[in-house]
Amino acid sequence: MRATKTIRCKVWKATDTKRSILEEEYNNLQLYLQTGIDDGLYSANKQQAERYYKEIRKGKEYPVSIRNDLIKIERRDTKLVTYWIRIPVSGRRGGLWLPVKPHCQFPDKFKISESKLIKKKKDFYIHVTISKDISEISCSHVLAIDLGERYMAVACGNFDNQLKPRFYGKEVRGIRRHYAWLRKRLGEKKLLREIKRVGQKERRVVDSYLHAIAKDIVFVARNTNSVIVLGNLKGIRDSAKGKGRRFNRIVANMPYYRLSQFIRYKAVWEGVSVVTRKEYKTSITCHRCGKEGKRLSQARFKCDNCNLDYFNADVNGVRNQLQRELSYIGSSGVSVNTPITEPFLVSSEAPSVRVG
């Protein structure tokens, strides 16, 4: 199986000469797309633009698409940066070598696909798409994930004899609440530009937490040879109905889908299997006796049948999810029914998985 991933590389402290060459190549592409005038655009970059950009919006800037056979990456471990990337530009025979800082390290072995040169304000970025062959790990355990309101995720696996839960992302709810309050104050002062800027910062802060959560979950699954079981997100926001306007806003804004996507693509890159299951009644069923109990609050579950009280409701739900998945697995360790698998596999000469 083949997985692909996009690594964002920031061009770091390029010399004035190299930066001017980048500016010229980027501006020549915009000129060509908007007016059809070729003022020295590199021929291969021109062909890529004609191939990808069929409809051009006036005033919009487009990235420079770089053919996979014309880009090269080297690890040099210099004082400035670790990685250097060569891209084709007009007027520089052999291409332009640029120092870059990627958002994550490149694997030892990979293949380069088409990549893009992007400009954001005054900075240049190269989004390098890479692929590598991966082998799916054999799964002997299950790691169940419950997405909730109080914690972004609660994980529990049968590799731990005590079924010790792991709690993730309690801070995200507080971050959301803070930025909602901040936007309200800015709205009262009619500072619309500041509201937009704050919203972008909030997304970056929250995404950093989500990436850390997903990375740790996949790390645990890989080291314990576990399949990750995610709850079906359909209807998750219905849990907020009847609990007040403020609570409904908090749940509606929680990035459950983004977190689940982060978990999926990081799992695919590491060869970890991911399945999705329905969470029907897992929140109101007692994990100890199997009878229906009561979820008295977001933090408390009670079962009158076995006198279970003041038990963490999220832990009760994720243990039910874990037990349900284990019941689907036969003695051979293979799922006895067909789970909802993630739509990353596509048919080709070699199976390919889209990541990132």
Which stretches does DSSP call E strand in the chain?
2-11, 64-66, 72-75, 83-87, 96-102, 111-112, 115-120, 123-133, 141-146, 153-157, 166-168, 226-231, 274-277, 294-295, 301-303, 308-311, 340-341, 345-346, 352-354
Rounded Cα distance between 146 and 155, Å, is: 6
Residues lower than pLDDT 70 in the chain: 233-253, 298, 329-356
- Residue 316, CB half-sphere, CA atoms under 13 Å: how many? 29
List the structure tokens of 306.
């076995």
Global confidence as pTM? 0.77
Which of 67, 102, 133 is a domain's end point?
133
**What is the number of domains present in the chain?**
2
Same domain, 149 and 122: no
List the domain range (segments joined by +) for residue 215. 141-354
Angle between helices 245-253 and 170-188 (to 10 degrees): 110
Same domain, 308 and 163: yes
Same domain, 128 and 207: no
Same domain, 108 and 23: yes
Which of 133, 158, 181 is a domain's end point?
133
Task: Give me the amino acid identity at 1.
Answer: M
Which of 133, 149, 167 is a domain's end point?
133
**Contact indicator for 251, 239 with CB cutoff of 8 Å:** yes
Same domain, 110 and 233: no
What per-residue confidence (pLDDT) applies to 162?
A: 74
What per-residue confidence (pLDDT) applies to 313?
A: 85
**Contact indicator for 142, 157 with CB cutoff of 8 Å:** yes
Same domain, 165 and 274: yes
Rounded Cα distance between 27 and 105, Å, is: 30
Same domain, 340 and 311: yes
What per-residue confidence (pLDDT) applies to 242?
A: 55
**Contact indicator for 315, 156 with CB cutoff of 8 Å:** yes
Q: How do residues 225-277 score in pLDDT, each as one tens digit?
A: 999 999 876 665 555 555 555 555 555 667 888 999 999 989 999 889 999 88
Same domain, 127 and 233: no
What per-residue confidence (pLDDT) applies to 176?
A: 86
Same domain, 31 and 165: no
Same domain, 184 and 330: yes
Q: How do residues 31-68 score in pLDDT, each as one tens digit?
A: 999 999 999 999 999 999 999 998 899 989 999 999 99
List the structure tokens of 49.
């633009």
Same domain, 9 and 158: no
Same domain, 291 and 212: yes
What per-residue confidence (pLDDT) applies to 216?
A: 95
What per-residue confidence (pLDDT) applies to 108?
A: 87
